[in-house]
Structure 1
Amino acid sequence: MKKILITIFVLIYTINVWAQLMPFNSPINTANQGTNGIYQPKSPSKSARREVIYAPKERVTNDSISNARLSSIQKANELTKSDTAIINLRKKIFGYSIFNNKGGTFEPNLKIATPQNYVVGPDDEIIVDINGYSEEHYNLIVNPDGFVKINKIGNVYVAGLTIEEVKARLIKKLSTIFVGLKKAGTNMSSTNLYASISLGNIRTVSVTIQGEVSFPGTYSVPSLARVFNVLYLAGGPNENGTFREIQLIRHNRVISTIDLYDILTQGYSKNDMLIHDQDIIKVGVYKSRIELKGKVKKTGIFEVLPTEKLDFIINNFAGGFTEDAFKDKVKITRFTNTERKLIDLNADVLNSFLPKSGDIIQIDPINFDRFENRLEVIGEVFRPGVFSLENNPTLKKLLQSAGGLKENAFVGRINIQRLGDDLNPQSISVNFTDLMANTSKDIPLKREDKIYVYSKLDLRETYTVTLHGEINGTRETNKDKNKQRTNITNSENIESPKDNLSGNLESDVKDLDVSTNRAVNIDGTEAVSEISEELKSNNAANSLLNRQVKLTLPFIEKMTVEDLILKGGGLRESAATGYVEVVRRKKNTSIDNKDLINSQIAEIAKFSISKNLELDKSSSTFELEPFDEVFVRSSPNYELQQFITIKGQVFYPGIYGLEKKDERISDILSRAGGLNRQAFPEGAKLLRISQISESEKKQKTEQLAEIQDNFSNVNINKEKAVVSKHETIGIDLVDALNNPGGVNDLFLNEGDILDIPREPQTVKVTGEVLYPNSVKFTSSFGVKDYISQAGGFTSSSARKRIYVLYSNGSVKRAKNLLFLRFYPKIAKGAEIIVPQKVKVGSTSQQIVSIVSVLTGTVTSIIGIITLIKATAQ
């Protein structure tokens, strides 16, 4: 009994398993029912993204073609200059750039639903899904013989059939094993059985493209590719290829003719068909081309059909005229059998004109400088500019639209410039006063009239006044507060204490740097100094004169001297208000009386002004006239501070201000506390700023240059000799201190440097000695003794020209008396300088010179003897 039960259980289990494996006995899958009870098929169990099935050899070939195409495009962009014509031609051809850009790709879309007219062939994959009360999934690959193999059914031939025909045939075959099988989409429910058939991975087809293309040849492309996709792979039509008549040849006959302009201009083409295996695409030579230039939205070379009118070409291919195109006249250049000719087309015949191949059609722009209703107002009105003739038909109306005349307008004559009927310019003058008083008729205007309203100020010389001397300068700010014009003169002359202490005292008199302040004339140029730079001197006595400037300002009616000084920034404290001069032009208003003509060239007025420029009883009432020159002098007792520097061995070294014009060395040393114990008064020296003007420097340079030219053996450093900022003055400080006010107690000047060294213990030997160095001072030693301490003379030493430079700056040289030579006495801190011999010339030259001298002497003696004998007879 137990064995029977086990046998029955195994049998039931086996039947259930077999029922699940057999499609026609599988139970209904309720999981595929929707909420409304309608059956929803399951998705394929092996769904995947559709791909193109390439054979390995096809993949390598396609990759090589793509790489070759990109390389060819790169090379085409890098053609030599000899191929410039080809490059320019390709750039002009409409549509050429679409097929020859490196960025875009025109690959077939593999995600689209399978086209109904798609023809199945070898290597295509057909996906079959059966859903309902039984489920099954098939991935069927079409073999090279055109069959697909289905289990329990066998081979089914599908090659050459459309996808719709394949669906019908497969359902018919599958219905033999799936009872009641229907096509998906017709009365679907969970109790029926349905088949869904679609195209999976697709095959490649071989297509040949020939003719005038950039890269002709045979290509392996996806079976969903169209003619346009293959054209892109081949680089599109070349410079000679047609865009309007591309033929698709299948089984030795033309089945479609594609016009690429439909795709380029409208985005689609009804004749762009799917490619079949062994198709041929033929691109012929273009038949007719024209070129559009100028004011159209897309210029270039267009291929036209014999029936296409020029108006259609411009609007559909070139995008139409631009806004600034001159449409009334189109110019055409046409080739004849022997030459070229020009054709002018009116706008009304564009829709009937048929262009010929080679025509160059030029659309010119309108005249931008020409207006059909323009009027222009120029000059002294509040709103000058251009106006329309319709709204301003007369002169009075136009001037009202321009805001009216300004206060400075010259109303006695307003000028209208007009182009006459004979194209000659005309001038019409109008008195605006009479026009406003209605004593003269209003002037009707014409297009392109220009109305000039002049200024009273333009009809007279620009009136100015000039201010000289001790003024501060003025700061003027413009209306928008964005800019500042600042007028200031050069400031007071002082030396930098830091420079004085360091010993690098500058010779030039410096100006105080006041930020952003500069003296500016009426024309915006910088105000100039009263005296030229060449004549300026650094002498402290000229410091007030050096800083005075000349400032030119606009003239204003009833302006007084005080008013002018206020505009000039006010007076400096150095100004002398009791002595102001005004120099006025001499004006001879009449020449009838010859007695009025004399030698006077100017009128000069002298008077005092208020020190604080206030309007009080002391103010002047002198009114200025155009071109007056006002001079504000310096106060005679006013002086700028002057400073000198004391360096070295004093109790209080530093910068000292001079108290008096005649202050001496002894006075300033007394203020400095006198000499300390280390001081060496015998070596004190005075450095003084070189008081030389630019003109004197120039003259001195020319003199030194002349000396050097005349004496070839003289070498002068002209720059150092002329531009030297200081000169050393040898002083006897011991005598100056012992005899205050004596000859050696010199007056001090601005910028002087009094240098008092420490007592030296050595004597320096330099120049043409064997070992230049410093030697310990010995009171019993003479010049030769010190030179011996330095190794003695060299072969090029000029012994006769030895000189000694003392520490106080004085110099003494050796003196020769007959055959005796007297050397200067040596003091502490002195420097013995042995110069180098100057080579006059070679030995042979010296011999020739001596012989010449002797010959001349002998000749002279013979002449004298002859003369004596002749006299004695």
Structure 2
Amino acid sequence: MMFATGSAGIAPRDAAAQSDADIRKAAAETGHSEAEVRERLRATRMSTDEIRAALREAGYDPDALKAFRVEAGGQLDSLPVQAPSGALTESLFTAPPGAAAVPLAQRPQDWPPFTREIATRLPGAPAPVLPFGYEIFSYAPTTFEPLTAGPVDPDYPLGPGDEVIIQVWGDNQYTHAATVTREATITVPDIGQVVLSGLTLEQAKRLITLKLATVYSGIRASRPTTFVDVTLGKLHAIQVFILGDVVRPGGYTISSVSTVLNALYNSGGPTPRGSMRDVRIMRHNAVYRHVDLYRYILAGSKADDVRLQSGDVVFVPPVGKVAAVLGEVHRPAIYELKEGDRFRDLLELAGGIQSTADLRRAQIDRVIPFTERARYPDADRRAVDLSLSSVLAEGATSPELVDRDILQIFRIGDVLKNTVSISGATVVRPGTFELHEGMKVSDLVREAGGFYKDVYLDRAYLVRTHADLARSIHAFNLGKAVAGVPEDDLLLAERDSVAVASMWDIRERHTVTISGSVRKPGTYEHLDGMTVMDLIFRAGGLKESASPFQAEVSRVDSSTIASVKAAEIFRIPISANYRLASADTTFQLQKWDQVFVREIPDWQMQRNVSVIGEVVYPGAYSLRAKNERLSSVIARAGGLKPEAYPRAATFVRKKDNAGRLAVRVDEAVKGKKRWDLVLEEGDAINIPREPRTVKVVGEVGFPASVLYDGGKSLGWYVDQAGGYTDKADKSRVKVIQPGGRVVGPRKFLPDPSPQAGALLIVPVKPPEEKHDTLKDVATIMSILTGAVTTIFLAHEATK
């Protein structure tokens, strides 16, 4: 078992003919990377010689893994082996420490050969069919470790190393613990040495009680007043050997109360090649007991789970005859068969058939046995059909099975044939009903509880499904059918379906619309008798901004809409307390009407702006008039503080997402109308303290903030920051003044002077375009050649 047992893996005894590259490729195809293989080889802690020996014993070429050898003095990690033989193959199949275990059913490359064969032959199988019972050994061995100390059953055989605890209580009291020596003796106060060789715990208790009775008379009195208890403390260990087709064969030191199952759990259990039904306990060079693990798994019987003795050998032979069963059984799996097991025995192992099994037919996919192949010279397999009801009949002969039979138990159909159904939102109890002989539409309606009042009685449909699954539709008058009129009260057949409509399924629900100054404008269902006030109430009432004088209704007559395109307009008076004038009490809305509730002209709530920073009273201010200006709000904020620097003020307009505006707040404060903007709701003005630096960034020697020196040009500030780099684009230098204005160098005028708080940006030169000189020359020559040709032709034409 190396990585995979399929054709893509490294097959036993075939690796010798493969190169290192072939082996690496074969491992990769099984889903194992080279690093993963190396890591798992290290995890085995085996030397190169030990790996070769393990491969040879498993039936592989000893050099099958030489391509993954970790060079360390010509050896793999040559640490002592800490696991029994078989650890190499086990480590290559298990996940590394800390990794989540991958269930066997999810790893097709690790499926046993018979499982893969079934998946290939029956691709429609719902899940991989795995050998039964092996998964119980996938848990950690510590989960099933026996106790290392008492209590034990009375038949436990005492042995060297057991700790015997003697308690005397009653008139006399003491406790004494003694360990059984190699000579199978213990020493007890008052009675001396006691020989326990070959005794069970119950027998030892009787012997010790008899000896103590010679010292304490209360023990042997007719009415005892002194009592003796003999129990065990620490138990001795035994050594057993677990061999054959197990995951980790070898010698194990286990508790003396360990059974066959405990030992198998320690070794990882049988491999899929090992038997689950003929585990042998070898004692004194003879078979002491045959253990059938199926009895433990299926019936919970521990009759065969005997206690082991030191020197016992638990041997797992190769698996015997197997057969797979899948389909409508309770436990689909691959089962090992004992001698004499037949068809019904296999079904019993699988938990019996399910109620959905088709008793008319079962099928066996059979490999023709050696003894019968002469009868079928041109076939290797054959299908055997069986009547399941006949096989399971009382007194019937159970058919024989052969090795690797694949039994399929088929499922009955899922279609209910003796049913009819009725559907529709207006049916009281829609659903599927049993079809009775002579049943008609009226009978089905009666069983469904009838209809609600919105049922549409003039037309319904019956959909009929024929034997060939073709479908046909039949229309009928539902009202007449319920009344029993023969032409409409149709006779029902299997799988007929009756569809009943509500009148609202075929009729459009009419609506009206309201918009304007109401709390919940939108479209609402038109109700008979609805007035404008009714609609306003459904729309949540009027807003504070609503005009209390009138509502406007727009109406289109659907019967004349093709010839009359314009809408008819009605003005309905309303009052601020929602009371409608006399016109409203009689004016009713019609379908598709649109109602408009107008807003009071020039209605506005408070419009706020914010002024923060270096003003006397920073905060939010409501605008006093539609045309209030910046200077007015700053004056209301107490004016500028002495340390304010209005040149660097920022002005951000929220309206229309305008963002920051380049506004000279210092000029606006002085009353210059160009900068003294009319404010809008959401405007934000931030007036900082006076900065004392100019920040220089980009392609300069040392980007930094340079101390402000009034009147200096941008070139001076660039020099203070280390001058231009070779990549600097001097023609595109930009200065962002503190007020937001952007200026740059001028060709014929002196460069602008940055103000305090300005940002000076020196960009990088754009990459130069590379010209293909040869291509350009060729293009020019082509143009010139064309021109010369044209001139020549023109000259010839004028001769």
Q: Give TM class, smaller chain.
A: 0.5 to 0.7
Match of 1:559 among 521, 530, 540: 530
Q: Give the deviation of 1:291 after TM superposition.
A: 1.0
One-letter identity of the residue aligned with 1:92 = L
Give the AA of the match of 2:522.
L
Query: Residue 93 in 1 paired to residue 28 in 2?
Result: no
Aligned to 1:702: none
Among 415, 422, 429, the residue aligned to 2:468: 422
> What's 1:454 paired with?
501
Counterpart code for 2:367? F
Report if the CA contact (8 A) 1:314-1:320 is conserved: yes
**1-structure distance, mates of 2:607, 2:95:** 79
Match of 1:298 in 2: 331
1:399 aligned residue = 445
Counterparts in 2 of 1:30-179, with a 5 A limit? 68=84, 75=91, 78=94, 84-86=110-112, 92-97=130-135, 101=139, 102=141, 103-104=143-144, 111-112=152-153
TM-aligned CA distance change 1:68 to 1:823, over 3 Å: closer
Which of the residues 343, 352, 364 maps onto 1:332?
364
CA contact (8 A) 2:606 2:622 kept: yes
Q: CA deviation at 1:297?
A: 2.5
The reply on whether 1:345 has 2:280 as its aligned counterpart is: no
Per the alignment, residue 517 of structure 2 pairs with 470
Whether the 8 Å contact between 2:419 and 2:432 is mirrored in structure 1 is no
Larger Rg: 1
Q: Do residues 627 (structure 1) and 667 (structure 2) align?
A: no
Closer/same/farther in 2, CA of residues 342 and 632 from structure 1, 3 Å limit: farther
Tell me how far apart the structure 2 counterparts of residues 744 and 123 of structure 1 sit (CA, whole Å): 108
Shift in alpha-carbon separation, 1:823–1:298, aligned structure 2, 3 A = closer
Would the alpha carbon gap of residues 458 and 105 (structure 1) be closer, same or farther in structure 2, given more than 3 Å must change? same
| Aligned mate of 2:401, from 332, 339, 355 | 355
Cα 1:236–1:609 change in 2 (3 A) is: closer
Gaps of 5+ in 2: 1-79, 97-106, 116-127, 164-177, 185-195, 208-219, 223-229, 374-378, 393-397, 697-704, 725-729, 768-799
Could you say which residue in structure 2 is the equivalent of 1:597?
563
Give the partner amino acid of 1:558. Answer: G
- Alignment of 1:318 with 2:350, yes or no, is yes
> Relative to 1, partners in 2 of residues 1:756 and 1:361: Cα closer, same or farther, differing over 3 Å?
closer
Give the structure 1 partner of residue 578 of structure 2: 613
Amino acid at match of 1:84: D
Cα distance change on mapping 1:143 and 1:442 into 2, 3 Å: same
Q: Structure 2 CA distance, aligned partners of 1:569 and 1:275?
A: 86
- Give distance in 2, aligned partners of 1:342 and 1:727: 94
- Alpha carbons of structure 1 residues 369 and 645: separation in structure 2 relative to 1, 3 Å: same
**Closer, same or farther in 2 for the Cα pair 1:601/1:243, shift >3 Å?**
same
User: How is 1:216-227 mapped onto 2 (pairs within 5 angstroms)?
Assistant: none
| C-alpha distance in 1 between matches for 2:147 and 2:262 | 6
Identity level (%): 24
Note the C-alpha offset of 1:358. 0.9
Question: Aligned pairs, how many?
Answer: 583
Shift of 1:320: 1.7
Unaligned runs of 5+ in 1: 1-63, 126-138, 147-157, 171-187, 191-197, 474-549, 591-595, 695-721, 737-742, 776-785, 843-873
Task: State whether residues 621 and 633 of structure 2, in contact with CA within 8 Å, keep that contact through their aligned partners in structure 1.
Answer: no
CA distance in structure 2 between the partners assigned to 1:838 and 1:204 by the alignment = 84
Corresponding residue to 2:601 among 636, 639, 647? 636
Task: Please give the per-residue CA displacement for 1:400-440, whole angstroms capped at 9, x wherever unaligned.
Answer: 44443233332222323231233211223332221333334
After superposition, the C-alpha distances for 1:622-660 in whole angstroms (9 at most, x for unaligned) are 333333332222222534444567889999887665555
Q: Do the aligned partners of 2:734 and 2:761 also contact (CA within 8 Å) in 1?
A: no
Give CA-to-partner distance per residue, 1:455-483, whole Å, 9 cap, x none: 3223234533222211122xxxxxxxxxx
1:735, 1:248 → 2: CA distance?
Answer: 111
Q: In structure 1, the residue corresponding to 2:325 is in which secondary structure?
A: strand
**CA spacing shift, 1:578–1:329, aligned 2, 3 Å:** farther
Asked whether the 8 Å contact 1:688–1:753 carries over to 2, the reply is yes
Q: Could you tell me how far apart the structure 2 residues matched to 1:749 and 1:271 are?
A: 97
Quick one: distance in 1 between partners of 2:750 and 2:629?
35
Letter in 2 for 1:94: F
Q: Aligned in 2, Cα 1:98/1:730: closer, same or farther, shift over 3 Å?
A: closer
- Partners of 1:610 and 1:620 within 8 A in 2: no
Contact 1:803 1:832 in 2 (8 A): no
Contact persistence 1:687–1:753 (CA under 8 A): no
Greater Cα shift, 460-469 or 676-685? 676-685
Whether contact under 8 Å (2:744, 2:751) holds in the other structure is yes
Q: 1:810 to 1:75 in 2, by over 3 A?
A: closer
In the alignment, is the contact (CA less than 8 A) between 2:462 and 2:473 conserved in 1?
yes
Equivalent position amino acid for 1:292 in 2: V
Match of 1:584 in 2: 555
Aligned to 1:477: none
Alignment-mate amino acid for residue 563 of structure 1: D
User: Aligned in 2, Cα 1:355/1:583: closer, same or farther, shift over 3 Å?
Assistant: farther
- The CA distance in 2 between the partners of 1:219 and 1:815, in whole Å, is 94
Q: CA RMSD in A?
A: 6.9
Question: What corresponds to 1:501 in structure 2?
Answer: none
Q: Deviations over 1:314-362 (max 9, x none)?
A: 12x1222345544544343222464444444332233432222111123
Identify the range of structure 1 (253-262 vs 436-445) with the bigger mean alpha-carbon deviation: 253-262
What are the Cα deviations for residues 737-760 of structure 1, in whole angstroms up to 9, with x where unaligned? xxxxxx8998954449899999x9
Q: Deviations over 1:343-399 (max 9, x none)?
A: 443322334322221111233455556575463534322333444446995433443
> How far is the alpha carbon of 1:303 from its aligned partner?
2.0
Q: For residue 144 of structure 2, what is the amino acid of its counterpart? A: G
User: Aligned in 2, Cα 1:682/1:88: closer, same or farther, shift over 3 Å?
Assistant: closer
* Contact persistence 1:326–1:364 (CA under 8 A): yes
Residue 734 to residue 284, structure 1, CA distance change in 2 (3 Å): closer
Equivalent pair of 1:122/1:143 in contact (CA under 8 Å): yes
Over 3 Å counting, the alpha-carbon distance change for 1:246 and 1:97 in structure 2 is: same
Asked if the contact 2:365/2:381 (under 8 Å) is kept, the reply is: yes
Alignment of 1:783-798 (within 5 A): 787=712
Of 656, 660, 663 in structure 2, the residue corresponding to residue 724 of structure 1 is: 660
**Contact 1:650–1:672 under 8 Å retained in 2:** no
Structure 1 CA distance for aligned equivalents of residues 134 and 640 of structure 2: 102
Contact 2:464-2:496 at 8 Å conserved across structures: yes
Quote the offset at 1:563 in angstroms.
Answer: 1.9
Are the equivalent residues in 2 in contact too, given 1:686–1:753 (CA < 8 A)?
Answer: no
Structure 1's 378 and 314: CA in aligned 2 closer, same or farther, altered over 3 A? farther
Q: 1:835 to 1:256 in 2, by over 3 A?
A: closer
Distance 1:606 1:291, change over 3 A: same
Q: 1:102-158 CA deviation, whole Å, 9 max, x = no partner? A: 23358999955559xx9x999999xxxxxxxxxxxxx9x9999x9xxxxxxxxxxx9
The 8 Å contact of residues 146 and 258 in structure 2, kept in 1 or not, is answered as no
Aligned equivalent of 1:439, options 475, 485, 492 = 485
Alpha carbons of 1:392 and 1:731: their partners in 2 closer, same or farther (altered >3 Å)? farther
Q: In the alignment, is the contact (CA less than 8 A) between 2:237 and 2:253 conserved in 1?
A: yes
State the TM-score, normalized to the length of structure 1: 0.50
Q: Specify whether residues 636 and 350 from structure 1 end up closer, same or farther in structure 2 by C-alpha distance, changes over 3 A only.
A: same
The one-letter code matched in structure 1 to 2:603 is Y
